[in-house]
């Protein structure tokens, strides 16, 4: 095999001796989270400590909270999809779907949430109001509504 087909700069953390974070992100990756997600994790940690509960989960939550970077919603309404936004898309048959873009540690907090590093999360974050994106099942859908988290700003078309 030619050396041109070998990626020397990409090494799995397990082989290189580096450790993945508690969130499962590769070493050096920023662990983005919404303010609402961070609050939920802090609340869970506080309850576990108060109940003298499972120390393994407490340690995991402490590690996660030490690694998070809270992303605040924008101050003004935007026409672009941002982290933490709830986005409604409509396909060519007028079927709608709604997604909220969150951090990897928030995926258990609600329905229709997608990680910012998932394929649909990446497609949404690269889009603006009115753009067409490709959904995971291959359908095309147009962004028809963007709501920014916590402050209720809505942009619709």
CATH number of the domain where residue 129 is located:
3.10.50.30
The CATH number covering residue 42 comes to 1.10.287
- Chain segment 54-95, per-residue pLDDT in tens: 689 899 999 999 999 999 888 777 789 999 999 999 999 999
The predicted model gives 15-23 an average pLDDT of 53
Q: Three-state SS for 63?
A: helix
In a domain? residue 119? yes
Query: Between these two residues, 21 and 148, which has the higher pLDDT value?
Result: 148
In a domain? residue 151? yes
In a domain? residue 78? no
- Chain segment 99-155, per-residue pLDDT in tens: 999 999 998 888 899 999 999 999 999 899 999 999 989 999 999 999 985 544 444
Query: Between these two residues, 61 and 53, which has the higher pLDDT value?
Result: 61
Q: 46, 71, 96 — which closes off a domain?
A: 71
Query: Between these two residues, 77 and 10, which has the higher pLDDT value?
Result: 77
Lowest-pLDDT range of 13-27, 37-51, 69-83 = 13-27
According to the model, what pLDDT value does residue 111 have? Answer: 84
In the predicted structure, residue 3 carries a pLDDT above the cut 90: no
* Number of domains composing the chain: 2
According to the model, what pLDDT value does residue 109 have? Answer: 80
**pTM across the whole model:** 0.76
Q: Which residues are within 8 A (CB) of 48 and not within 5 positions of it... i.e. 6 or more apart?
A: 54, 57, 58, 61
Distance of CA 133 to the CA centre of its chain: 17
In a domain? residue 147? yes
Q: Quote the domain boundaries for residue 48.
A: 9-71
The residues pairing with 111 across neighbouring beta strands, listed in sequence order, are none
**Dist. CA 36–CA 150, nearest whole Å:** 8
In the predicted structure, residue 49 carries a pLDDT above the cut 70: yes
**Cα 23 to Cα 29, 33, 55, 63, 66, distances in angstroms:** 10, 11, 17, 9, 11
**Cα 123 to Cα 1, 101, 112, 132, distances in angstroms:** 34, 11, 15, 10
């Amino acid at each position: 095999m030619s050396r041109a087909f070998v990626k020397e700069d990409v090494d799995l953390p397990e082989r290189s001796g580096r450790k993945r974070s508690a969130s499962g992100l590769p070493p050096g990756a920023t662990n983005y989270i919404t303010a609402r997600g961070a609050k939920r994790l802090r609340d869970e940690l506080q309850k576990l400590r108060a109940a003298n509960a499972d120390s393994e989960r407490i340690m995991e939550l402490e590690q996660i909270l030490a690694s998070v970077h809270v992303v605040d919603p924008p101050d003004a309404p935007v026409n672009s999809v941002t982290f933490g936004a709830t986005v409604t898309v409509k396909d060519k048959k007028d079927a709608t779907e709604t997604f909220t873009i969150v951090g990897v540690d928030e995926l258990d907090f609600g329905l229709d949430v997608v990680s910012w590093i998932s394929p649909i999360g990446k497609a949404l974050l690269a889009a603006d109001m009115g753009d067409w994106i490709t959904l995971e099942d291959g359908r095309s859908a147009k962004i028809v509504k963007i709501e920014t988290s916590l402050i209720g700003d809505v942009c619709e078309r």
